[in-house]
Amino acid sequence: MGLPVRTRSGSPLGKLTDLVIDTETGRLAFLVVRTRGLIPGFLDQELRIAWTQVISLGEKEIVVTDGTVPSGAVRLAIRVPTTPFAQQKDT
């Protein structure tokens, strides 16, 4: 965990914080990436990046497709709840 994640064209997205496994198939479904807000630690977001969008997974960084997060639109990406699933209430 903690690997930097960037797009193929070089745009930084954030750092890897978790992996989501599909419980039905046992396969990796998503990478969870924490993005930085304008002020570190404030307005940070977590994004889910589908495994199918990963181009390379190296020792020093992860590279994903350019279309993963539209340029300048990190807030439009899928957000991961910050509350652990076991503590969430159904609505």
Give the pLDDT confidence score for residue 68 in this predicted structure.
73
Give the pLDDT confidence score for residue 69 in this predicted structure.
63
| DSSP helix/strand/coil, 68 | helix
Containing structural domain, residue 68? 4-81
The CATH number of residue 63's host domain is: 2.30.30.240
> Does some domain include residue 48?
yes
Give the pLDDT confidence score for residue 22 in this predicted structure.
92
> Does some domain include residue 86?
no
> Does some domain include residue 90?
no
Give the pLDDT confidence score for residue 88 in this predicted structure.
45
Q: Tens digit of pLDDT for each residue in 17-64?
A: 999 999 999 999 999 998 876 666 666 788 889 999 999 999 999 999
pLDDT greater than 70 at residue 81: no
> Does some domain include residue 47?
yes
Rounded Cα distance, 78 and 53, in Å: 14
* Number of structural domains the chain divides into: 1
